[in-house]
Chain A
Amino acid sequence: MGKVNFTIDGKEIQAEKGVTILQAARQENIYIPILCDHPALPPEGACRICLVEIEGQRALHPACTYPISEGMAVSTNTPRIRAARKFNLELLISDHPLDCMTCEAAGNCLLQDLAYEYDVTEDRYEGTKHHYSVNDPNPFIQVDRNKCILCRRCVRACREVNGVEAISVFYRGFSAYIGFGADSSMDNSPCEFCGSCVAVCPTGALWPKLSLGEGRPWQVDRIQTTCPYCGVGCQLILEVKDNKIIKVDSAWDGPSNHGWTCVKGRFGYDFVHHPDRLDKPRVRKYLLDGKKKPAAEKRKPEIEGDPWQWVEVDWETALGITADKMLQIRDDHGSESMGFLTSAKCLNEENYLMNKLARQVIGTNSLDHCARL
């Protein structure tokens, strides 16, 4: 590929032949607003916001699909361009709910940002508005077509990234809307709920149901970490408010997943806050009482006072009893009478310590985990 010399807003630029004006501008950190483009998706040319002027051409052109050429002179911010962009934004706003104060996406919405930038303050065009019901019955994703701007980012994410084609645009013009499968609900389509569509939606049209009403983008801490499920090692951003994970966002720099996730990584985090969580150590009552372990058939843990009943204790007690019992068994039966199962779910550091516990402290190599299972 050769190089092409051209200018953007008078600045001389050299870029690879074949790239679009938008791509070349981004390489030079020149801002061109756009709604439908996403760096992780192929270009679409749907939103008409990235319009630019090219010297010698009468019409404005979308920067996201127009390839650069030698000697081309591009302007990105003339009054004519600003007027055209504002007009297109006004058209979008004319069929968009003006409920930013309660909208989940407020503060994280490209349409809101552009309306602010272009001073689109009110609905200037009277006419029919859509009133879609917000009732897709799937457990993961709220679908609010009233907030959809038909940028087709979700369509491309589903088709090009996940490869399942669960989302498409049905009908055309004013009747056009995003639909699933054969124009059905999400859970009646090939959708696998990977959440890629949610990750790229620029407005509040697609939103995680688990996150509804949980917090605003500016109220959360964002912590990048590694997914706790399979071995792919996807990077995730946990959004946390008041010590609660309220949403998983894409970590676009994740080396194994590049921002994409599966349904478990994106929507399967709420086990962390499940009421079943063990919040204190427990020991069986017979251990506290210094009694003998009851035979299996005599264990009645649900009966108050039974030797097999659980008793919540502090760490000192729990670890003291555990250490005593382990030492007693080692003294009586030798270190080879003890087995350790470490965990494929726990940290490297914790697995190392289990290896050290079994080998250094107890003196056995009988240490394994569920790699085979």
Chain B
Amino acid sequence: MVGLATAFGSGAMTNSIDDIADDAQAFFVIGTNTTENHPVIGMRIRQAVRQRGAKLIVADPRKIDLTNFAVLHLRHKPGTDIALVNGLMHIILANGWEDKEFIKNRTEGFDDFKAVVDEYTPERVSEITGVPLEELQQAAEILAQNKPTAVLWAMGITQHTTGVGNVMSLANLQMMLGNMGVPGGGTNPLRGQNNVQGACDLGGLPNVYPGYQKVTSPEIRSDYARAWGLSDEQLSLEVGLTATEMMPLALEGKLKAIYILGEDPLMSEPDTNHIRQAMETCDLVVLQEIFPSETAPYADVLLSGASFAEKDGTFTNTERRVQLVHKAVESPGIARPDWWIVSELAKKILKEGKRQIGEAAYSGWDYQNAAEILEEIAALTPIYAGVSMQRLENGETLQWPVKDQDHPGTPILHVGQFARGLGQFTPVEHIPPVEMPDENYPMILSTGRVLYHWHGGQMTRRSKGLLEIYPEALIEVSEDDAERMGLNGSRRVRVSSRRGTIEAQAMVTDRVPPGMVYANFHFPEASANELTIAALDPVAKIPEYKVCAVKVEAV
């Protein structure tokens, strides 16, 4: 998100699922195992390939299912995305295939950027990435000849210490090809959770108020202070802590309390041991959840929330589309919608605490329903200004920015002009992952999800059919490595990193290349995050889930 915001002034999927699926002449799919993690988009890509002959390039160290539909599979080494994309751009420039008009009229910073790309000769890139020269050439040709090309990625691009650089490279590529602001093109990060887009949009980040308005801006702060009945000084101009920064501070005793809504840090954060200790050290852990999750043993208070099927409101999907959630059933017992719980708690704190809150348009917490909260959101969030429950219930389908009640929403971003004016080319250099294999930990571990489970697995492990078809963690091991270790297909493996050890069943497969294993974080008894490293991208603070060094042994 930071990467796209730097390049374009706005960090979200630029295009819509429909226009990508219907209009892209080619797809460059890098770091997204789409058919397992965003299956319906994966379906749409397969349809595009099958029904209208769209060309698919997959760049992924793993032989994911989509490679069966690809004209080209670039199997680059984990953590070499920047080198790969720079190499493709080098070939495009060397052949004069770039969109010179677009670069001239719509972008800036091209010369500095080009100076860096010039250094990434095909020979050097092939050396770094392990991709053969002729495949680099073929890929560059396909990208140059098929306009528009849609670039799609997910956590395979962002979960690296170079995550922001990876994203900027892809933004560079799409600007160079002139694929921005057109149906079937764009930079399209696929969001992994039902409302991760909405959580980002509505201020669930330490650096921005709702609508990506910076907390460091005194003007924005004044706006919120006025709306919420505060004096300016009562709101901080300092950027807060990210989740990945909170845990180390808790361990140092500096963060005393943590309030967690619908998250399971024990499963989803890197280096689980470290998270356990951090949680144990806190004076107060409040967990608002629908299940006693893996984090629950560390909580002091457990507040019983409502599931998606038990409340009305909205989610925002990966293509920035605000959609309705409707209550279908009653919650069990006295479980309550999360908005009710948070409101009641806020009222108690305000009543009993010393912080002075004045009368203002949105200072109060007396909400009768989600629609009232959405009205407040619209008033304080320019990109949601025209969103209302009434419009959505009338069947309007709104993609932000929705500037006012009459604005139809924005299916494609950056048409004619980027949010920041001119698109910014940024030179990006290849930097290897923080923890590379060595003598003691000779293999690379990469992590992610599988089709039948989702994130920490709290929901899918409690779903009968999903658990039956995928009942335990499987660790993908290449045939070469399996043979070397003496695995006969039904053996268990022990995977260890500097941070922890897990044991699980091996899945011997050609999906992973020799020297690499792949594990998921769906099962607490063998969660990949016992092993992962809490090394962060310096800007986005995202952990390097896709590369760490491990040792793998037969049990």
Contact = CB atoms under 8 A, between A and B. Distances in A.
A in complex with B? yes
Interface of A: 138-140, 160-164, 187, 192-194, 209-210, 221, 223-235, 238, 240, 243-245, 255-257, 260-265, 267-272, 274, 276-284, 287, 293, 296, 301, 310, 314-315, 318-327, 329-333, 335-373
Nearest to B464: A270
A345 B301 contact: no
Interface in B307-328: 307-311, 313-319, 321-328
Interface in B416-460: 451-452, 454-455, 458-460
Interface in B452-504: 452, 454-455, 458-460, 462-466, 468-469
B361 interface: no
Interface string B210-242: 100001000000001000111000111011111
Contact of B308 (A161, A221, A228, A255): A228
B5 interface: no
B463 A319 contact: no
Nearest to B203: A355
B230 to A, nearest CB: 6
A255 B398 CA distance: 10
Most chain A CB within 10 A, of B35, B202, B465, is at: B465
B315 A372 contact: no
Contact of A364 (B240, B307, B338, B454): B240
Contacts of B452: 263-264
Contacts, number: 484
Interface stretch (B84-92, B142-150, B345-353): B345-353
B283 A263 contact: no
Nearest to A268: B463
Interface stretch (B71-79, B170-178, B329-337): B329-337
B195 A255 contact: no
* 7 smallest beta-carbon distances between A and B, as pairs: A279-B333, A233-B317, A365-B240, A343-B262, A163-B46, A355-B203, A262-B39
B195 A372 contact: no
Interface in B244-266: 244, 246, 249-250, 254-263, 265
A370 B199 CA distance: 9
Contacts of A231: 38, 190-197, 317-318
B204 A368 contact: yes
A342 B243 CA distance: 10
Contacts of B459: 228-229, 268, 271
Contact of B345 (A244, A301, A323, A345): A323
Interface residues of B, number: 158
A326 B345 CA distance: 10
B69 interface: yes
B373 A353 contact: yes
A370 B204 CA distance: 10
Nearest to A241: B329
B339 interface: yes
B377 interface: yes
A240 B243 contact: no
A195 to B, nearest CB: 10
Given A326-B284, A330-B353, A368 B43 contact: no
B289 A372 contact: no
B499 to A, nearest CB: 16
Contacts of A265: 40
A268 B458 CA distance: 12
Most chain B CB within 10 A, of A223, A319, A341, is at: A341
Given A225-B326, A344-B194, A160 B376 contact: no
A357 B39 contact: no
A342 to B, nearest CB: 4
A293 B284 CA distance: 9
Given A345-B193, A351-B199, 6 more contacts: A323-B348, A324-B352, A344-B193, A344-B199, A363-B234, A371-B199
B200 interface: yes
Interface string B150-175: 00000000110000000000000000
Most chain A CB within 10 A, of B18, B281, B308, B363, is at: B308
**Interface residue SS majority, chain A:** mixed
Contacts of B228: 356, 359-360
Contacts of A335: 236
B302 A310 contact: yes
Contact of B283 (A277, A293, A357, A370): A293
Most chain B CB within 10 A, of A234, A257, A335, A350, is at: A350
A234 B243 CA distance: 28
B268 interface: yes
10 contacts: A163-B43, A221-B328, A225-B308, A278-B290, A283-B300, A325-B301, A341-B246, A346-B338, A352-B373, A369-B204
A352 B210 contact: yes
Contacts of A224: 324, 326
Contacts of B283: 293, 325, 329
B334 A279 contact: yes
Most chain B CB within 10 A, of A233, A272, A331, A346, is at: A346
B128 interface: no
Contact of A343 (B18, B215, B261): B261
A352 B261 CA distance: 12
Contacts of A348: 195, 198, 201-202, 313-316, 322, 374, 377
B209 interface: yes
Interface stretch (B103-111, B113-121, B538-546): B538-546
Contacts of B286: 322, 326
A310 B355 CA distance: 31
B349 A362 contact: yes
B259 A340 contact: yes
A353 B202 CA distance: 9
A240 B344 contact: no
B318 A366 contact: no
Nearest to A340: B259
Contacts of A139: 464-465, 468-469
A246 B51 CA distance: 34
Given A363-B355, A372-B243, A233 B300 contact: no
B554 interface: no
A234 B40 contact: yes
Contacts of B261: 340-343, 346, 350, 354
A327 B255 contact: no
Contacts of B197: 231
A335 B203 CA distance: 18
Nearest to B193: A344
A287 B300 contact: yes
A370 B463 contact: no
B292 interface: yes
Most chain B CB within 10 A, of A230, A323, A338, is at: A230
Most chain A CB within 10 A, of B40, B47, B240, B322, is at: B40
A181 to B, nearest CB: 15
Contacts of B93: none
A337 B256 contact: yes
Contacts of B203: 351-352, 355, 359, 367
Most chain B CB within 10 A, of A227, A274, A324, A329, is at: A274
Contacts of A367: 203-206, 240
B555 interface: no
Contacts of B126: none
Most chain A CB within 10 A, of B215, B239, B315, B316, is at: B315
Contacts of A209: 465
B318 to A, nearest CB: 4
A226 B304 contact: no
A194 B202 contact: no
A347 B158 CA distance: 24
B259 A276 contact: no
Nearest to A352: B202
A221 B326 CA distance: 12
B463 A257 contact: no
